[in-house]
Amino acid sequence: MEVMAVLIASDLSKDMAGSPLLRGVSFKLERRDRLTIAGRNGAGKTTLLRMLAGETSVDGGELSFEKGCKVALHDQRPPRDRELTLRDYILSGCADLIAVEADLTRLAQEMADGREAAFDAYSRAEARLEHAGGWTWRDRATAMVRGLGFDEDDLDRQLKTFSGGELTRASLARSLAGDPDLLLLDEPTNHLDIESLEWLEKTLVSLDAAIVLVAHDRWFLEAVGSAVLELEAGRSRFFPGTWTQWRKELAAREIALGRAIDKQQAEIARLERFVERFRAKATKAKQAQSRVKRLDRIERIERDPRDREALKFDFKAPERSGRVVFEMTGGRVEVGDPGGRGRVLLEDAELWLERGEHVSLVGPNGAGKTTLIDTLAGIRPLAAGKLSTGHNVKLGHLSQHADELAPGAGGRARTVLEACAVHTGLPPNKARALLGRFLFSGEEAEKPLDGLSGGERRRLSLAILVASGANVLILDEPTNHLDLESREALEDALLAFEGALLLVSHDRALLEAVGTRTVAVLDGTLRSYDGGWQEFLRVREEKRAAQRAPKAKAKPPAKAAPPAAARSKPKSKLARAAKPAPVGANCAGERLAAATAAALAEGSNGNGTPAAAPLSKNARRRIRELEREIEQAEAALRTLEAELADPSAWSTPEQTAQSTERHAAAKRAVEEAFARWEVVASE
């Protein structure tokens, strides 16, 4: 059976202000295709989405949609009618489903009246409603709202009571709830915490719809996208594959382009040398003219001039600080009025940061991450407990909303150049040189501060931070408003930074690349895990798998582990990371040996009490068979753990999920084998 395309775009073109923006854009989408649009800022990504949604005219080419195709667009524009409740706003995107319900009621009556034509119409309407979840589709729509961080009480609040970020999430929920056939998403990851991002990834992958999306979150793009449409200089190139696969192919093309440019420039130089040398000589004049014609016919290979505008910077080599940069013990962090009226975010929290460490701070929105780092930066006091700062700590702080560029913070600074000079103390010529590295060249440096975009404000803040010479960086969502190229430039700079770093970010690719330890803000306290985001994810998924697995019956007594207080203390606080101890095969083997010896011992039933009767030959044989099963399961677990020690097993979100699931299944097989053994031994 041939699969029908949801959308076919043929040779699309679009002009903006009389100049060509898009030319010859073509692609086809079927259900469950998830197309990522890639390109620089200004390449036409958002314009193309709005063309597909019918909100912007198509100047050339053709768009063909599946019959009855429902299209939903989510972008960064806030809802118009702020008097609506969140519930009514979500349902306004489901008008066709409400209409289908009414049609089914009407058609049911017509069928009861014996109208034959109503039967086919009822079947079609019923199939449409079933695709959206049947008569319970409203529950599905409500689940979409909850998945994006809203609760039941929010549904009856008016939109005007929500923040800008919440309105953006509401727009996304509305787009998902309407069960579209073609879903168009422009920056859907904005204003989502990591938990909501993970929920959104799973939801999009499971949707029976065609999806076109624009995003700057690399982890999200890799997890969701199945193909890439590259927009470059008005033209498009379709690539079937994941985001990472496309980036590898793009890098190979860039290398090949560089070689082609070098080769062509060498040929042009050779021809020009010949012409210059022999143009005036009568004996070579004809040959020289021939070379001139060849030069004129050469189609010059050139890089896009915007390639030279990529952000690239690094931090100064920092001065050496004391070994411990920050140490907080018994910390209480509050918001609101001091003296008991504030809301407690963290209680009895412990945190340390050592010289050269790169620590990621993760947790859901509202858990207290920003309040905590503001406390460490000295912006707000610690409500209780002790906070110590190490020797020679020079702090550089980048706030989430670029508060350091607020009108009062820069004195009388009105322009980018003036703000840079005020905050860094650099003379104008050196301030200009610094700003040039952050894409503020020429007239860009004279832009007024109050007219800067979010991305420009973030680049200016980074320029000031780089010039500070800080040996400790506290960064709150540093990738906000940055495009992909700028995010990667920041990642490279942080990787090379030799000082200490405390990083809050929802960019999981950045967390994984930069972080050497992860601190999670969970349930009003702090928990530390060795490793970056992948390792934290692995430990978290193992915990969840253990909670989901059915609990085995009580195990025979084994040698008890020493109490926590009796264990030797680590030399460094880095070794005190709260990382759950793995269920090791050796521990299981010792437990089996001890319990087996007890079970098989004459006069014992395996738990140390006198046996009612000796074990039969069949029971002994069955126990030995189960022992072999346990040994095989443990051997399989050890083999798998050796395989998963390879970093490539955790290199993508899909591989991480598969590796986590395989490891949990192998551990579960060991526990189930023990459970079977215990049943026989106890009998």
d(C-alpha 325, C-alpha 517), whole Å? 15
| Cβ–Cβ < 8 Å for 522, 536 | no
> pLDDT tens digit string along 581-599?
333 334 444 444 445 444 4
DSSP β-ladder status, 358-362 and 500-504: parallel
Distance of CA 20 to the CA centre of its chain: 33
pTM: 0.71
- pLDDT for the residue numbered 300: 77
Give the residue among 190, 212, 221 at the shortest CA–CA distance from 454.
190
d(C-alpha 317, C-alpha 416), whole Å? 25
DSSP β-ladder status, 227-232 and 34-38: parallel
Phi, psi of 652 (to 5 degrees): -135, 160
Packing angle between helix 484-496 and helix 454-467, nearest 10 degrees?
Answer: 20
Name the stretches of the chain with pLDDT < 50.
Answer: 1, 552-594, 596-613
Contacts 24+ apart (CB under 8 A), 127-136: 128/97, 128/100, 129/97, 129/100, 129/101, 129/104, 131/179, 131/208, 132/97, 132/179, 133/179, 135/101
Beta partners for residue 604, in sequence order: 610
| Cβ–Cβ < 8 Å for 480, 449 | no
| Cβ–Cβ < 8 Å for 91, 159 | no
Phi, psi of 102 (to 5 degrees): -65, -40
d(C-alpha 147, C-alpha 165), whole Å? 15
Distance of CA 470 to the CA centre of its chain: 28
- pLDDT for the residue numbered 587: 43
The two three-digit tokens of residue 93, written as one number: 């995107």
d(C-alpha 135, C-alpha 158), whole Å? 26
The helix or strand, by DSSP H or E, that contains position 517, with its residue range, turns out to be: strand 517-522
- pLDDT for the residue numbered 140: 85
Q: Which CATH number fits domain 324-539: 3.30.70.250, 3.40.50.300, 3.30.43.10, 3.40.50.620?
A: 3.40.50.300
Dihedral of CA atoms 135, 136, 138, 143 in degrees, nearest 10, equals -160
- pLDDT for the residue numbered 175: 93
d(C-alpha 411, C-alpha 11), whole Å? 53
Numbers of helices and strands, H then E, in the chain: 20, 18
Give the residue among 647, 659, 455, 534 at the shortest CA–CA distance from 219.
534
Beta partners for residue 360, in sequence order: 503, 518
| Cβ–Cβ < 8 Å for 357, 517 | yes
The two three-digit tokens of residue 455, written as one number: 């991305």
In sequence order, the 6+-apart residues with CB closer than 8 A to the CB of 425 are none
Phi, psi of 653 (to 5 degrees): -55, -40
- pLDDT for the residue numbered 577: 30
Residue 49: Cβ within 10 Å count: 21
